[in-house]
Structure 1
Amino acid sequence: MSRIGAWLRGSAPAPSQTSSPAASQTDLRARETASLVDALIATSLIMNDDIDGAEERLRKGDSAFHLLGMGICTFMRSILGFEKSIMAETLSRLNDCETRSLSEMKKAQKEAEAAGKAEDRIYPPGSEYALVIAYANLMSAVVAVMNESLTEGLKGFYKLRKAFITLDGLVQAETAYLKRKGLHSDSSSDGTDTDLEFVDADEAHSGTQTPLDYGGHLTTGPDAAEKELSKLSLNSNDTSKLPSTKGSSEVFTTPADIFIHSGANMAYGVLLTLLTMVPPAFSRLLSIIGFRGDRERGLQLLWQSSGFNNVNGAVASLMLLSYYHGLLSAADILPFDNDSEKSTTVGYPKAKCIALLAQMRSRYPDSGLWRFEEGRVQANSKDLRGALEILKSNTESKMRQVTAINNFEMSMNSMFIHDYPDMRDNFLRCIELNDWSPTLYYYIAGCAELENYRNAFHSKAEESQIQLHKKKADELFRKGPTLAGKKRFLAKPMPFELFVVRKMQKWEERSKALGIDLVDAIGPSPSEEMTYLWNGMKKMQPSELEFSNKVLSWDRLTAPKEARKKIEAELDEEAVRNVCRAAVARSLGNIDEARELLDSVLAIDRLAFRGPTKDDYALPAANYEMAVLAWIEIQRPEVRRGDDKGDEEEWLREKTEECQAWLDKVANWGAFTLDARIGMRVQTGMDTVSWYKKQYGWASA
């Protein structure tokens, strides 16, 4: 912070400077710089779980940068709380910020015109305010889309488009400047090297460098990284696994240029990356109105921004870790482990992510965000119990939002290891911590209590205990639908809430038709179904997977014999069960068993899944699972069947096309329950297959 302090101390004009217009202009720029740096320092407190401290400091300034910081504070409070009043306050603050920034941007542009002499700038005059406007538009768009109004949602997409155009313009201006100076961004195809390469630059660049030093304990490889994660030190200075910023610090020397470079790269990187994660059908719609994602470029920009020691770098780091540990962890068709060094854009660069995480922990030691990410690393390494240990020690944050996401992760991991009492209690606590979807929380808590009931029933526990769990499961299941529809996305009910309502309707109709209690009318484990939909099988140890197999047995049902036969005969119930069992089998390495189970689902006529209470997602999910099996065969030649021997490359190409064909089939399936959730896995798979084809030169395939 010493250089930042120097900027702040240097903001006051010397007496001799106040006598001329040029000096006054210098003073003005110094004050603007001081405001920018002060606002960035204040806003960065959010990343250390001190949102109150950030607001307190930001209130002392009145610049556009301080207004942006205040908008970010309320935005952070609103995105998980979903409270109407906070959303309204957020939009109000962001509107004020946009109005003020627009005025300042026009002022800067006029001053540049009046000066006459064109300066050799990296960015056009007023670009720092253009970036602030883009930030405000991005956050306004998110809040608008979260709103229950379709009209507000459409306004949000308009703001999103404005931000997209502005950010693209800033990045293009930067690229053009570097080209003029004989420089180019030497980002490799996987985003692992973000240094700038100097190629016969026509002039030297000097100036104060931004503080870009790293202080985290960095490991030396994937295996070492995994072993050392729980012992992250805050004192080491090994920077070998993080993006270099040496070249950047020689080009981007002023606080304004650093702010624009790190901020535009971060925000544009987020947009380009997220646009590639939307389901295929929605992606096509967005492309019509001018939105096209680019995962490779987006991730490169985020890695570049992550190298800067400011709030932009922190947010870029958070987005990278959220992408790799969150969105990508739900995917199955990913580059092979031995390709990790050349596939960062579609694969998981574990050592690099752990190095980045270590740096963020050292920079923001009081934040639970980074501890939460540590837990996700453990879970993705198939150490769910180790993950829970970390998360349980991270339950009290000064930011309620951090506590909420930490608790949700605990809830999921409890479900994955079949700890049903903890699963129930953790999901019920989710209801207390945030208002995202009480319907879903009550439903999954009910799933946990159902398993407690089934355990007690089949172990012939005391009747009082059996009835206690049965009654509680019934209460929790019935509570969820009464709260459904209160949270909406673009004026439509949330997909998981529709899923819950349809499930309950199905069970209630069956309960009446068979003359049994609702809890006894439930079919194959809905807990395991939820585990599949959140891809928990990917994080399980073999013993946990074997437990899932037992839980998916028809013998777990509590319905009388005749009623049970009728439940087992329902085709969509059998399909859901077999899709889950197939995912367990492939996770255990039993490819032939998985294929046999999926073939039984694919043999079912599509018409059997039509109806208001049918689980229609099972059939497209089975098609997706077939794509996963084809990809596993590509990864593991030893699983090839005898008749598959022959020319290896030709076989690989055929299998790749098979995988692609299954994915294309799901992508073009049309609407079905939870199509967005499965569509995200499909989209990631398609990106991976496309990357793989390029590696082999099969681009025309």
Structure 2
Amino acid sequence: MSRLAGWFRSSAKPDDASATGSDSDSSRDNMAKEMEDIDDAMNSSGLIMNDDIDGAWEKLQTGDSSFHQLGLAVTIFMRCEARAWNDYKKAQRHGKARAGSKIYPPGTEYELVRAETQLMGAVVGVLHESLIEAMKSFYKLRKAFLTLDAIIAVEDKAFKEMEKAQAQAQAQTEDASKKVDEKTEVDSKDSSGLQTPVDPTDPSTAATSPSDEKSEEASLQSKPVTAETVLVDNPLDIFVHSGANMCFGILLLMLTAIPPAFSRILSVVGFSGDRERGVRMLWRSTAYSNVNGAISAMVLLAYYNGLLGVVDIVPDQKDFDEHADIVGPPREKCDQLLASMRQRYPNSRLWRVEEARQYSNEQQLSKAVEILTTGEESKMKQVAAVNNFELSIAYMFIQNWDGMRDAFLRCLEVNDWSPALYYYMAGSASLELYRDAIHRGDEDEARRQKVKVHEFYGKAPSVVGKKKFMARQLPIESYLHRKIQKWEERAKAAGIDLADAIGPSPALEMAYMWNGPKRMGPVELERAMANLKWERCTAKEEVVEAMKKEVDEMGIWALLNGTLLKRMGKYDEARALLEEHILKQDKYAFKGPTRDDYVPPAANYEVASIAWVECCNPPEGTVEEIAAYRRKKFDECQKQLDIVKVWEVYLLDARIGMRVQSGLETLAWFKKKMAY
């Protein structure tokens, strides 16, 4: 037994035989065991610092605590990278790899392994709550980036050579076919010099027709060999091709959606993302029925259903072309991809979540909830947590307040991303239940729900900052902390309870953060309009009137209503509301410790999205009139997005900025398509 265990045991009284004493002994034994595990795991992991990774691995395997598993995870990355480097050098010494790749130089497969371990190590470092660790991780990321870039360059060169060889072979085939045609033409002439007609209904002549043979050969060779069309069949080539495209595709895509703080770091280490190239690579990888293809499918579906699910300015289906799938979801391809994944992995809950997201994006929220609440729960904690969070926001969009409250409270049990947000969401749902009870005259229920509102909103600020990203507080937590502080100040000034000092629905304001209106059908939109009425507020009339005079409070109400009106097709009403209560106001009226500074840039974005909808749905007219109308609305959309793009720093700039950036990429696609 270790000295730590002995030290803890020595504090126990030998003559204490009571039940309380037994519990105390047990508690001390558990504490002693934990301290012993920490001591052993730290000592074992310390061997890494002495360049003895194998020794650390062997010693850490003798323990089964979380601390030992953490040490093993670190050694796995390090051992894998070291082993891959040794195997890479060995492959280079022995020439061609054993599998005999026709595309990649010897050892490329091990270079890919090293790049993957560097990527995983970088992810772990970025998630560490330290800016220094994050910086180190970005240098690892750069190493992986350069390795993957080199592999793809080799691959592209090989495919170009194959394409060139194919073109030469096809030219030779066409020359040979031409000579056969000329000879056939001479042979088919009769003695009078006239060509003998061929009966197309005669099967014997049809089967031997030289023109048919030529057509068949041409069709077999019509597809050029490119990274998009070729399917490799060598196991080594499949591993490298699918893996490199998966890793580099994810990297390039994710780098286009990073927050501003990371952009500054990336400018230091000198690399950037490429959304088009990344998406193409991921689609390439999905052609293979292995784990690389599955991960690529997962990322693509998350990109289309998740990231682009909160974006309004995407290609209209009427304008969709072969380049549009970079900036907008190709529905048919996504359906086929999801179906293939569900067939390949029938027991995975992950693909059910993606299916629910697709239904949600198609305004079928009830169907999404049905999928998320049926079937077996995932055995993987992470997948179960994602499923529950998707269910939580789906309930919020439907405005099922009981379901929303319970689902977000369960998030506290299965996920630790933001306890403050989960309590805030539960409080927002309870507030709606409180307002419902007040308006139907149920005093007992209203009293119960009011207690819950105060309980959950009271807990949220106490756990703000528990989870950080790069040592910084999550922006969404800063936002909700300011909201609660604002209500507390108003309640104190007016001499009323917190629950009665709240203005427009906080739940629907949070729904806006996930672009809930885009997912709402006609029923949910009408319900949301009703839930945003000032009459829902439970404060006295004079207090509500005072709220309306607060520029940022009225701005929130106008922003939420304007977004709903836009989704209902009432574009003029939506634009007028945004203009009157937000865009015509002094933007400095939205600034302050407890004010909502995101409202003006969000309003400009909404005006841009209205212009885009109008651009995609022009009124009837001549071709020239339609073209002029579309160009006018395109320019309006571009102007508004450019305004938001250069907006000064505000609290939720990452969320709004992501929508703006995606919108700008869509406009760039449309501009090229229309040759503006």
- TM, length-normalised to structure 2: 0.78
Aligned to 1:93: 76
How far the C-alpha of 1:394 sits from its partner, in A, is 3.9
CA change 1:581–1:562 in 2 (3 A) is: same
CA change 1:697–1:436 in 2 (3 A) is: same
How far the C-alpha of 1:85 sits from its partner, in A, is 8.6
Matched, 1:691 2:674: no
Aligned to 2:387: 406
Quick one: distance in 2 between partners of 1:662 and 1:452? 38
Aligned to 1:325: 305
**For the Cα contact (< 8 Å) 2:428–2:507, is it kept in 1?**
yes
**For the Cα contact (< 8 Å) 1:101–1:129, is it kept in 2?**
yes
Quick one: distance in 2 between partners of 1:344 and 1:460? 52
Report the AA paired with residue 386 of structure 2. Answer: I
Aligned to 1:230: none
SS at match of 2:603: helix
Quick one: distance in 2 between partners of 1:307 and 1:251? 8
Aligned to 1:165: 146
How far the C-alpha of 1:133 sits from its partner, in A, is 1.2
CA change 1:495–1:355 in 2 (3 A) is: same
Per-residue Cα deviation, 1:243-284 (whole angstroms, up to 9, x for no partner): 999998976332221101000011111111122223578557
Gaps of 5+ in 1: 1-66, 72-82, 185-197, 203-242
Quick one: distance in 1 between partners of 2:610 and 2:231? 48
Report the AA paired with residue 109 of structure 1. Answer: Q
How far the C-alpha of 1:159 sits from its partner, in A, is 1.2
How far the C-alpha of 1:407 sits from its partner, in A, is 0.7
Aligned to 1:296: 276
Aligned to 1:199: 167
SS at match of 1:125: coil
Matched, 1:357 2:357: no
**For the Cα contact (< 8 Å) 1:277–1:680, is it kept in 2?**
yes
Quick one: distance in 2 between partners of 1:532 and 1:146? 27
How far the C-alpha of 1:162 sits from its partner, in A, is 1.2
Aligned to 1:615: 596
Aligned to 1:550: 530
How far the C-alpha of 1:290 sits from its partner, in A, is 2.4
How far the C-alpha of 1:182 sits from its partner, in A, is 3.0
Quick one: distance in 2 between partners of 1:608 and 1:596? 19
CA RMSD of aligned residues (A): 2.7
CA change 1:645–1:533 in 2 (3 A) is: farther
Quick one: distance in 2 between partners of 1:399 and 1:636? 44
CA change 1:619–1:125 in 2 (3 A) is: same
State the structure with bigger RCO (CA 8 A, min sep 6), 1 or 2: 1
- Equivalent residues in 2 for 1:574-653, closer than 5 Å: 574-600=554-580, 601-638=582-619, 647-653=625-631
Report the AA paired with residue 525 of structure 1. Answer: S
CA change 1:639–1:145 in 2 (3 A) is: farther
Aligned to 1:422: 403
**For the Cα contact (< 8 Å) 1:87–1:143, is it kept in 2?**
no
- Equivalent residues in 2 for 1:28-177, closer than 5 Å: 90-112=73-95, 121-177=102-158
**For the Cα contact (< 8 Å) 2:123–2:137, is it kept in 1?**
yes
SS at match of 1:344: helix
How far the C-alpha of 1:349 sits from its partner, in A, is 0.9
**For the Cα contact (< 8 Å) 1:581–1:594, is it kept in 2?**
yes
SS at match of 2:327: coil
How far the C-alpha of 1:540 sits from its partner, in A, is 0.8
**For the Cα contact (< 8 Å) 1:582–1:597, is it kept in 2?**
yes
How far the C-alpha of 1:333 sits from its partner, in A, is 0.1
Quick one: distance in 2 between partners of 1:308 and 1:171? 17
Quick one: distance in 1 between partners of 2:501 and 2:444? 20
CA change 1:96–1:274 in 2 (3 A) is: same
SS at match of 1:638: coil
CA change 1:332–1:663 in 2 (3 A) is: same
Matched, 1:567 2:547: yes
Aligned to 2:655: 677
How far the C-alpha of 1:645 sits from its partner, in A, is 11
Report the AA paired with residue 479 of structure 1. Answer: K
Quick one: distance in 1 between partners of 2:260 and 2:578? 23
How far the C-alpha of 1:138 sits from its partner, in A, is 1.4
Matched, 1:375 2:356: yes
Matched, 1:262 2:245: no
Matched, 1:534 2:514: yes
Aligned to 1:665: 643
Which of 294, 305, 320 lines up with 1:340 in the alignment? 320
- Equivalent residues in 2 for 1:230-309, closer than 5 Å: 252-278=232-258, 283=263, 286-287=266-267, 289-309=269-289
**For the Cα contact (< 8 Å) 2:112–2:148, is it kept in 1?**
yes
CA change 1:646–1:305 in 2 (3 A) is: closer
Quick one: distance in 1 between partners of 2:376 and 2:484? 32
**For the Cα contact (< 8 Å) 1:484–1:497, is it kept in 2?**
yes
Per-residue Cα deviation, 1:333-380 (whole angstroms, up to 9, x for no partner): 000112334311111111111111111111111111111111111111
Which of 125, 147, 160 lines up with 1:179 in the alignment? 160
Quick one: distance in 1 between partners of 2:285 and 2:325? 16
CA change 1:85–1:653 in 2 (3 A) is: farther
SS at match of 1:252: coil
Per-residue Cα deviation, 1:178-198 (whole angstroms, up to 9, x for no partner): 2223359xxxxxxxxxxxxx4
- TM, length-normalised to structure 1: 0.76
Aligned to 1:505: 485
Gaps of 5+ in 2: 1-52, 58-65, 171-222
Matched, 1:390 2:358: no
CA change 1:201–1:175 in 2 (3 A) is: farther
How far the C-alpha of 1:639 sits from its partner, in A, is 9.4
Structure (1 or 2) with the larger CA radius of gyration:
2
**For the Cα contact (< 8 Å) 2:126–2:133, is it kept in 1?**
yes
CA change 1:352–1:646 in 2 (3 A) is: closer
Q: Percent identity?
A: 48
How far the C-alpha of 1:638 sits from its partner, in A, is 2.6
Report the AA paired with residue 305 of structure 1. Answer: S
Q: Which stretch has the larger CA shift, 591-600 or 270-279?
A: 270-279
Report the AA paired with residue 471 of structure 1. Answer: V
Per-residue Cα deviation, 1:280-315 (whole angstroms, up to 9, x for no partner): 785576356422222221111111100101100000
**For the Cα contact (< 8 Å) 2:159–2:225, is it kept in 1?**
no
Per-residue Cα deviation, 1:80-109 (whole angstroms, up to 9, x for no partner): xxx999776544422222122122212222
Report the AA paired with residue 99 of structure 1. Answer: A
Report the AA paired with residue 453 of structure 1. Answer: Y
Quick one: distance in 2 between partners of 1:666 and 1:672? 11
How far the C-alpha of 1:512 sits from its partner, in A, is 1.2
Report the AA paired with residue 124 of structure 1. Answer: P
